[in-house]
Amino acid sequence: MKCGYFTGNGDADGVEVNLGWEPQWILIKCISNANSWVMYDTIRGISTGGTDGRFFAQDTDAEYDGTNFLRVTPTGWKAVNNAGDFNGN
């Protein structure tokens, strides 16, 4: 497990977060607004170029998979969307 922070760039070609390994589960919370905690995992699907399944921690709703938010890399993950809940400027 690794905890930390990163600064988003508000761009669809977002920041790359280097963890040193390929993650299977990611939890993100923007600290500059009231957006929700967002969870992603590779079992439900983080697909390169496809839709990513994600959950909001405080909701009882089913997963949301409307767009491509991030992609997993061999050393971490990269934001591929400018969504304000994790890659706002």
Q: pLDDT (tens digit, 9 = 90+) per residue, 62-81?
A: 777 778 888 899 999 998 88
pLDDT on residue 18:
95
Q: Is the pTM of this model over 0.75?
A: yes
pLDDT on residue 76:
94
pLDDT on residue 49:
67
pLDDT on residue 54:
81
pLDDT on residue 12:
85
Dihedral angle sign, alpha carbons of residues 83, 2, 75, 7: positive
How would DSSP label each residue in 16-55? EEE-SS--SEEEE--SSS-PPPEEEETTT---TTS---EE
Q: Tell me the pLDDT tens digit for each residue of 20-71.
A: 999 999 998 888 888 888 888 888 777 666 777 788 888 777 777 778 888 8
